[in-house]
A and B are shown apart, each in its own frame.
Chain A
Amino acid sequence: MALMGVALGVTSIVSVHLISGTVARQLDALVPASLARYTHFMHRDALSSDDYFQLRRQWRAGVAQDIQSMSPIIDETVLLNGKSVRVLGVDLMSAGEVLRESVLVEKDNSANGWSWQGVWVDATLVGQLQYRVNGVLALPAGTVIADIGVAQSILGWPDDRLSYVGISLVDRWGGLKTWGENLMPGFGSGLPSSEVVFSGLPGWHVRSLAGQHPASTFGKSVLFNISALGLLAMLVSWFLIYQVAVSWLRRLWPVLRRLNVLGVQWRALCFYFVSAMIMVGLVSGVLGLFIGQALAEMLFSLAVGGDDAYFPLEAWVVGKGLLSALGVCCFGGAWAFRSARRPSRQIPRRGWLCGGLIVLAGSGVFFPDSGLIGGFLSIAILSMVAVSIAGPLLKWLRGYAGYIRGPYFLRLSLREALWYPQDLAVALSGLSLAVATAIGVTLMIDSFRTDFSRMLERRLSYDVVVQGDSAALHQLQSDLGKMDAVSRVQAYSEFITRLQGVPVQVEMSQMDRTETARYGYGQSLSARQALISEQAARALGLKTGEGFRLESSDFEVMGVFQSFGDIQPRILVGLDAAPIFEAQTLSALSLNVDTPSALSEALRKAYPQLELTRQSEIRRLALATFDRTFTITTVLILIALLVAAIGVYIAVTTLRLNKQVSTKLLVALGVSHAEEAGMDFVLGLGIGMLALVLALPLGICFGWILCAVINPRAFGWTVDLQLSAGGLFWPVFWGLTAAAMAGVIRIGRKEGVGHDDV
């Protein structure tokens, strides 16, 4: 039993680590290797190569000592043949080596290496460009890498224009961060990114790499959520392992006491017990490693469906799993031994300690500068508070056990749950934590899903969206004017530009009431007014009513709209604003039509080069993607609940030792086996309900922190917490079921006959 318990704890730790590690590696691949060596990017308005050379001279002269290296970079997204392509221009003098080494598939011109005029592309762009291909790289779809000059010519830019300057800064905490990342994949993305300002260089903005790669930031934030959940799963596993030590000791205790009476020193007995625990920890730790690896593979393919997932048992995860098992077995064993000898030792000033911790948790919540780590730290602290009051709460409730009334079977079993606080406190803490996490995350996902579908509802008010080649779109636009079935045609142009160094997507369209209503703003926009997304508001530090400068014109922010799933900040302006931008081409048409399916068919035939999407289809896809993103989360919660249930099972087995005499008595009084099982079931339910006493308030706190603190810090959007019955029902249901099952199930004991006696 002990062996199984510890093995399961390690299994959960290992599988969670492996899954997060794999996701982290996949996300790292999103940042091209040639950019990965920079930590930050510097930008200023209308950046030219002259600016760059001046910056370089200043740096050489001793300004901004923290910079280790710098080079000019072009990084823009354009539409090429109707396809969105990311063009990366780098200094081949310094980056060429990296590129050559990372060439993945084939070299078009294997004879004479690579050419300065050539480009490197990802597999999807092979044969799509008029430039000579130097090699195919493992890059995100639609990426081109070339020398600065070539990139400028692809973009049609003047030959002195640059996107930004890549720099790498001395990172004093780098070693520590790597450590953290290895130990807890995804950990780094939660660190608050400190603002870098070079006082000697006015006019320059400095941004971290993360700011330049919203897609990978988004992914890393998801990952951080997962890894934080993994941390909770690990905590619950530790509780389980500790519970194993407590229960085992409980069993051994009569023997040990007798041995002590016979003259064996307590110290020797403690040593014996702890070494036995360490043996158990070692054997089951190794077992857990392999089961965990298998479980990770299974879960990953189940949740993500990738078949290329590969989960090596590297040193870090082995160390983490084994050290957890050995450490908790060793220290937990010693601690359990100590508290068994001197029971009910109070931690002095527990109240003050809890108060202080809660204040600390509050500061993590209310100071945005503490970043994701701050948010999760407060969750962790609240968990600790809950755990530390589980024992005292049980003791306190025990004083009121006499007030439990009702049928005698109910009285007996419910009071039983309160009667042995020292045996139950640990398992109860574990279960409370797991259920609270489940409640918090489920509430968050549910609220998020509600907000998300409401947004889709509003946003997807058109029947059909057409995208593709600009000329064809113009043709279609004029054709549609003659059709009766089409009640509204909305044309969009878009381009990507930089604002304070941040890439933003600017969308232009006829911003009348109907259109702005889709973004929760019911008025039409005038020429110098704009709506911006939550992400833009955050990245640019803008609020409603404030102004910003775009392409040397001033705009006023009229409203901020929620835009889940966007990775880039977005700005919406009316067609009246169009003249101030360079001539823009059509990028999409949205239609309201009477017979969407018939029209779609007709348009597909007439314009094969255009991409038609039904909004209902988009909605379905969006929700499917949403649900898939959170599958891993759900799986992790289930692991934590399972581990907690096993903790309760082990605790209940210990309770049975206490109950043996009263069980014998009840049997002599004529209580049948069925009734006994019924009482065990109620006992389990009772434990589950006790856990809920802690888990409900804690879980709702978690939910609120996730919605109002973690989400804005991780993704830049807020979610309104909704205390829905559905969000509370399933975690509560699973928590109670797990506890009740833990009460009833008995492994290795034959149930007696006598089912007919109720």
Chain B
Amino acid sequence: MVRVSGLEKNYRDGDRQIKVLSDLSLELRAGQSLALTGPSGSGKSTLLNVLAGLIPSDAGEVALCFGQHNFALHQMHEAALTRMRRHYIGYVYQFFNLVPTLTVLENVRLPARLNKAKELDQLAVDLLCDFGLGARLDVFPHVLSGGEQQRVAVARALLAKPPLILADEPTGNLDVDNTARVAQLLFGTAKEMGLSVIVATHSEEIAGRADQHLRLGGPSV
């Protein structure tokens, strides 16, 4: 479960204060999905980064509850946040989701291997085959198309079945067909596995598939 209340995040640009998120609250139950929409610069990525513990918030509470494990992000230090990320969160970016020096299969296995979970090796192969990438397991990412790369990224985020998947415009630079395919894989598999998904997107297709919908406004100076 994700619970955010009274979240505030400002950036400092010289002596200007940019208020990106102010008094934001939301709640998402396990297995549910949430679509974040809003114009560019409205703070979607910022919110996802706060939820992943990559950047600190300025005020408010961010609590993640995964079964017995509860995390109050605003009270944790960096090492603990890193550890939490490793075990409980899957992340998908818009670009550059893959490590260029690892093959497709290695990229998918990477988070599981970081957790020393070798037993997931076979699952990685199965997942990639399901995603239509069975023939490309041992190639390096730079030869893949954009749609294929995003499918690999989704597979990686799902592999270890982390209770929370964060996706930042995962289909931002894909055509309609690929968008549909990636959305299908992301939401379909997540539902199957019972994982929560928070996705920032401009795509109606994706927003329509989510259980909840949160629209963010623009930043105020």
Residues in A lying within 8 Å of B, measured CB to CB: 401-402, 407-408, 411-412, 415-416, 419, 661-662, 664-673, 752-757
Not counting A419-B101, A662-B96, A668-B93, a sample of 17 additional A-B residue pairs whose C-beta atoms are within 8 angstroms of each other reads A415-B101, A665-B97, A665-B99, A666-B99, A668-B52, A668-B85, A669-B85, A669-B110, A669-B111, A669-B114, A670-B84, A670-B85, A672-B79, A753-B77, A754-B78, A754-B79, A756-B79
Q: Is there an interface contact between A671 and B96, defined as CB atoms closer than 8 Å? A: no
Shortest distance between the CB of A8 and any CB in chain B (Å): 31
**A753 (CB) vs chain B CBs: closest residue:** B78
Shortest distance between the CB of B67 and any CB in chain A (Å): 18
Residues in B lying within 8 Å of A, measured CB to CB: 52, 54, 77-79, 82-87, 89, 91, 93, 95-103, 106, 109-111, 113-114, 138, 140
Partner of A670, one of B87, B96, B97, B109: B87
Q: Is there an interface contact between B113 and A757, defined as CB atoms closer than 8 Å? A: no
**B100 cross-chain contacts in A, Cβ below 8 A:** 419, 662
* Cα distance, A661 to B52, chains bound together (Å): 17
Q: Is there an interface contact between A408 and B79, defined as CB atoms closer than 8 Å? A: no
Partner of B54, one of A415, A668, A754: A668
Supply 21 A–B pairs (Cβ within 8 Å), ascending by A: A401-B101, A402-B140, A408-B109, A408-B110, A412-B102, A419-B100, A661-B95, A662-B101, A665-B93, A665-B97, A665-B98, A668-B85, A669-B114, A670-B86, A673-B78, A752-B78, A753-B77, A753-B79, A754-B77, A755-B79, A757-B82
Q: Is there an interface contact between A669 and B86, defined as CB atoms closer than 8 Å? A: yes
CB contacts between A and B, total, < 8 Å? 77
* Cα distance, A320 to B115, chains bound together (Å): 56
**B78 cross-chain contacts in A, Cβ below 8 A:** 673, 752-754
**B101 cross-chain contacts in A, Cβ below 8 A:** 401, 411-412, 415-416, 419, 662
**B93 cross-chain contacts in A, Cβ below 8 A:** 665, 668
Q: Is there an interface contact between B138 and A402, defined as CB atoms closer than 8 Å? A: yes
Partner of B114, one of A408, A411, A416, A754: A408
Shortest distance between the CB of A683 and any CB in chain B (Å): 11
Partner of B113, one of A408, A415, A661: A408
Q: Is there an interface contact between A411 and B86, defined as CB atoms closer than 8 Å? A: no
Q: Is there an interface contact between B106 and A408, defined as CB atoms closer than 8 Å? A: yes
Q: Is there an interface contact between B96 and A665, defined as CB atoms closer than 8 Å? A: yes
Partner of B99, one of A407, A412, A754, A755: A412
**A671 cross-chain contacts in B, Cβ below 8 A:** 82, 86, 114
**B85 (CB) vs chain A CBs: closest residue:** A670
**B83 (CB) vs chain A CBs: closest residue:** A757
Q: Is there an interface contact between A670 and B99, defined as CB atoms closer than 8 Å? A: no
**B84 cross-chain contacts in A, Cβ below 8 A:** 670
Q: Is there an interface contact between B77 and A669, defined as CB atoms closer than 8 Å? A: no
**B140 cross-chain contacts in A, Cβ below 8 A:** 402
Partner of B106, one of A411, A754, A757: A411
**A752 (CB) vs chain B CBs: closest residue:** B78
**A662 (CB) vs chain B CBs: closest residue:** B99
**B157 (CB) vs chain A CBs: closest residue:** A669
Q: Is there an interface contact between B113 and A672, defined as CB atoms closer than 8 Å? A: no
**B103 cross-chain contacts in A, Cβ below 8 A:** 402
Q: Is there an interface contact between B91 and A668, defined as CB atoms closer than 8 Å? A: yes
**A409 (CB) vs chain B CBs: closest residue:** B114
* Cα distance, A755 to B78, chains bound together (Å): 10
**A408 cross-chain contacts in B, Cβ below 8 A:** 102, 106, 109-110, 113-114
Q: Is there an interface contact between B82 and A754, defined as CB atoms closer than 8 Å? A: yes
* Cα distance, A56 to B62, chains bound together (Å): 106
**B90 (CB) vs chain A CBs: closest residue:** A669
**A752 cross-chain contacts in B, Cβ below 8 A:** 78
* Cα distance, A755 to B83, chains bound together (Å): 12
Shortest distance between the CB of B50 and any CB in chain A (Å): 13
**A664 cross-chain contacts in B, Cβ below 8 A:** 96
* Cα distance, A757 to B77, chains bound together (Å): 11
**B139 (CB) vs chain A CBs: closest residue:** A402
Shortest distance between the CB of B65 and any CB in chain A (Å): 19
* Cα distance, A665 to B157, chains bound together (Å): 12
**B110 cross-chain contacts in A, Cβ below 8 A:** 408, 669
* Cα distance, A419 to B102, chains bound together (Å): 11
Q: Is there an interface contact between A411 and B102, defined as CB atoms closer than 8 Å? A: yes
Shortest distance between the CB of A218 and any CB in chain B (Å): 54
**B115 (CB) vs chain A CBs: closest residue:** A670
**A661 cross-chain contacts in B, Cβ below 8 A:** 95-96
Given contacts A402-B138, A408-B113, A661-B96, contact A670 B82 (CB under 8 A): yes
**B85 cross-chain contacts in A, Cβ below 8 A:** 668-670
* Cα distance, A128 to B17, chains bound together (Å): 91
Q: Is there an interface contact between B82 and A672, defined as CB atoms closer than 8 Å? A: yes
**A755 cross-chain contacts in B, Cβ below 8 A:** 79
* Cα distance, A668 to B99, chains bound together (Å): 12
* Cα distance, A415 to B107, chains bound together (Å): 14
**B111 (CB) vs chain A CBs: closest residue:** A669
